Amino acid sequence: MTKTASRDAGRATRLVATGRDKAITGPFVNPPTVHASTVLFDSVAEMYSGEARYTYGRRGTPTINALGEAIAEMENAEGTVLCPSGLSAISTAILALASAGDHVLLPDSIYHPGRHFADTVLTRMGVEVTYYAPTIGEALAELMQANTRVVYVESPGSNTMEMQDIPAIAAVAHTRGAFVVADNTWATPIYSRPLDLGADVAVLSATKYIGGHSDLMMGTVSARGEVLSAIRRYHGAVGLCVAPDDAFLALRGLRTIEVRLARHRDSALKVAAWLEARPEVARVLHPGLESDPGHALWQRDTSGSSGLFSFVLNGGTEDDAARVLDALKLFGLGYSWGGFESLATIGSHGLTRVVSPPDAAGPIIRLHIGLEDPDDLIADLEQALANWTA
Ligand SMILES: *Cc1c(COP(=O)(O)O)cnc(C)c1O
């Protein structure tokens, strides 16, 4: 019998049951990893019927469909397309909806490569781009134009961690006929469902907590109804697809996301609270902390926090921050996050802000808290912060 869990079942229950259609898995627990380009048909009639379940490797395989169905279920979407990276999921969502002559509103706190995509590709294609302060809320109405087609949100924002009022922004966008695209990578569908908050599209970098092991790149775009149809048309037309081994790994990662996230959440809150009390630290940027200006929105719109947050050093330069980071022994120095291991970057390095410069007394350090013992991570930070002398 096919195992299914109703949409009323708990999230952990649905995570176990989803993406396991018996027609795909047969007697096995997991779907097979199907390596395929060509799909063979039984007859010419079937080949041209337009009704075959599989038609060509790029258009879906059992492995890819199982992952897409699982992500769609977790996002409360009607469907999900898979892209080769989170960045390609961002570009897919926007390019599926915006055309030459349209206007797009992006938060100043957007993931930086998303900004680069907008400033280079979108503008070259005749799409007008405006940045807004992430905490704008319903005052976004003042920036809406007759040709505004997409309002993008990322809550909390990259590096500076501002929460955004997605319901208020969606209400403004919808009264003016625009679509809302939300980057849900930080909270993941386990702690936040942007489509239920009013967004039309939810984008994930599955590279982060879905994969969870720093060994694959992938993005997902989830939506409902007409918006989903537009996304499927664009995704198919430009030829986007993902590799079967990566899809298998992403589905395997998804099975454990809830238990991993709980550990990331608890450890990150413990480290963040410890940092808040340190003299070397001016401010901790983590919406799960009561001191954070985004805490009320975070409490209203999400059911948890993940392992990524930032803190502001109490003065000094990026050279001072570099001395702290170079002294870390347990934290890797590297881009990305969402794997089992802890990472650190200088969050303020190369930070581009055009309308909302961060309110920071010193350099910003971004941490990803992995699955190590949090007390070991705190001890590592303590010895590293001893190198800060600003
Ligand atoms: C990493 C990241 C992305 C891009 O994902 P890739 O898989 O690295 O392309 C998008 N949004 C956010 C918030 C990210 O942190």
**pTM of the entire predicted model:** 0.97
CA distance 248 to 66: 9
d(CA 373, CA 361): 30
The active-site residue, picked from 20, 193, 208, 260, is: 208
The pLDDT confidence band at residue 1, using thresholds 50, 70 and 90, is: very low
Q: 369 has which bridge partners?
A: none
329 is catalytic: no
Is residue 183 annotated as part of the catalytic site, yes or no?
Answer: yes
- Going from the Cα of 86 to the center of ligand 1, the distance in angstroms, rounded, reads 5
**Pocket (CB within 6 angstroms of ligand 1):** 85-87, 111, 154, 158, 183, 185, 205, 207, 217, 219, 336
CA of residue 200 to ligand 1 center, whole Å: 19
The pLDDT of residue 359 is: 85
- Spatial CA neighbour of 288 closest among 189, 163, 193, 166: 163
Candidate of 162, 207, 221 to mutate for ligand 1, largest count of ligand atoms within 8 Å of Cβ: 207
CA torsion through residues 280, 282, 286, 289, sign: positive
245 is catalytic: no
* Burial environment of residue 368 by CB neighbours within 10 A (0 to 12, 13 to 18, 19 or more): buried
Q: Is the peptide bond before 156 cis (omega within 30 degrees of 0)?
A: yes
What residue's CA is closest to ligand 1, atom 5?
A: 86
Instruction: Quickly count: other Cβ atoms within 10 Å of residue 52's Cβ.
Output: 14
pLDDT band at 390 (very low <50, low <70, confident <90, very high): low
Cβ-based neighbours of 262, under 8 Å, separated by 6 or more: 304
- CA 274 to CA 375: how far, in whole Å? 10
CA of 141 to the centre of ligand 1 (A): 28
What would the two tokens of residue 214 be? Answer: 């720093």
Tell me if 231 sits within 8 A of 81, measured CB to CB. yes
Percent of the chain with pLDDT over 70: 98
CA distance 196 to 76: 7
Q: How confident is the model at residue 43 (pLDDT cuts 50, 70, 90)?
A: very high
Protein residue with least CA distance to atom 4, ligand 1: 86
Residue-wise pLDDT tens digits, 96-117: 999 999 999 999 999 999 999 9
Residue 7 — very low, low, confident or very high, per pLDDT cuts 50/70/90? low
**361/285 Cα distance (integer angstroms):** 13
Whether 6 has a pLDDT exceeding 80, the answer reads: no
Which amino acid would we find at residue 107? P
- Ramachandran category for residue 336: left, alpha or beta (phi over 0 → left; psi -120 to 50 → alpha): left
Is 224 marked active-site?
no
Interior angle at CA 231, CA 153 and CA 181, nearest 5: 5
Among the listed residues 108, 183, 301, 380, the single catalytic one is 183
Reported as a single tens digit per residue, the pLDDT across 278-334 is 999 999 999 999 999 999 999 999 999 999 999 999 999 999 999 999 999 999 999
In the predicted model, what is the mean pLDDT of residues 41-50?
Answer: 96
Residues 6+ apart with CB under 8 A from 177: none
Please name every residue paired with 367 in a beta bridge, in sequence order, or none if there are none.
309, 344
- Taking a C-beta distance cutoff of 8 angstroms, is the pair 339, 214 a contact? yes
Q: Cα–Cα distance between 109 and 132 in angstroms, integer?
A: 9
pLDDT one-digit tens code per residue, 319-374:
999 999 999 999 999 999 999 999 999 999 999 999 999 989 999 999 999 999 99
d(CA 260, CA 246): 19
pLDDT digits (tens, 9 = 90+) for 180-222: 999 999 999 999 999 999 999 999 999 999 999 999 999 999 9
Nearest CA to ligand 1 atom 2: 205
